[in-house]
Amino acid sequence: MTQTIADYEHTLLVLMDERVEMASDDELFANGYLSGHISLAASACEQANMNDLANLIAKVDASLKAAQSELTPVDQILVRELWQTLQTRLAVDVVLV
């Protein structure tokens, strides 16, 4: 079964929500910051009729890169590591299903 961008976004946000209960303040910040980028990228993909998950991932990557000046170097690392962790986790979950 092919996963839609909306499904992928939902799954990412659920994985992020699961982290909230035990997250540090820095992790909560990274979570919230990244969720905004994911939602905006998903919306842009849907409006452009882009259905490939690679498009969503590329849009999130580009958005994070463009917004680097908004974050301290430490926050950049936290957000980047969270994004990589989520992608890895979701790739594993998709393979296992």
The pTM of the full predicted model, rounded to 2 decimals, is 0.86
Query: pLDDT tens for residues 30-82?
Result: 999 999 999 999 999 999 999 888 899 999 999 999 999 999 999 999 999 99
Q: Which of 96, 92, 93, 33 shows the shortest CA–CA distance to 63?
A: 33
pLDDT of residue 93: 53
Dihedrals phi, psi of 51, to nearest 5 degrees: -110, -5
Alpha carbon distance 31, 33 (integer Å):
6
| Helix axes of 73-96 and 5-20: crossing angle, nearest 10 degrees | 120
